[in-house]
Amino acid sequence: MNPVALITGATSAIGAAAALAFAEAGYSVALAARRVQILNSVAAEIEQRGGRALAVGADVTQVTDVDKVVSRTLARFGRLDVAFNNAGSGARPTPLADLSEKTFEHTMRVNVLGTFLCMRAEILAIVEHGGGAIVNMSSTAGLQGVAGLSPYCAGKYAIVGMSKAAALDYADKNVRINVVAPGPIATERIDKEQQQRIGQYVPVKRVGQPSEVAELVRWLCSPSAAFITGAVVPIDGGRLAGVPSFAAGS
């Protein structure tokens, strides 16, 4: 029987790339997101390539939706082995004192509550079938402050802490829980001109690709990463390594 992967936020550039990466590795893939039309197209592409896919429209902030995704995954594929909790949200850059409560609450609900609800349902299913792995989506903004992004930073920092605690809770149940922290990635929100401009400030002189994040997630869920749990892995082209050296005499 094929192993089974569940990906939330599967309509985003990174989520869709991860779904395709797991399918290419032989996984049956359950996909969850709110944009059902796009979700169905990702599932159709997987099946056109010979894979098995299930698309379930869902809002990760709603416990009934999350439970529905996991129950339908189990009904269709019979098990759950790995999950990538990629669904997230961010607001336009705004100084903290100018933020509304609504904006702050929405960002935290999607990033923190959504990740919590998904992990809670996924862990129970994974434990029942002998163990597996979960990867949660944070950001380099979950490892350092970013001006104007207080709610986003708060949510992504919270995901790191919650994941580390959960990794300790379930290490002896054969459930590994890790975090990826991407830097600038070429998603649908960044056009080519912006990508080139941002890339100038990345040590490797480019932004990352969704497929590169997807491959990291897939590897973290693989047997090759069997001794890794509670880890946070940046994928940022070296941005968190430090600052470039200053020119002599400057």
- The CA distances from residue 157 to 136, 139, 145, 151, 181, in Å, are 12, 8, 10, 10, 10
Annotation marks residue 152 as catalytic: yes
Q: Is 179 helix (H, G, I), strand (E, B) or coil?
A: strand
Residue tagged active-site, from 152, 157, 170, 201: 152
Exposure b/e, 1-40, CB count within 10 A at least 16 = b: ebbbbbbbbbbbbbbbbbbbbbbebebbbbbbbeeeebbe
Instruction: Report how far Cα 23 is from the mean position of its chain's Cα atoms.
Output: 16
Query: Which active-site residues does the annotation give?
Result: 152
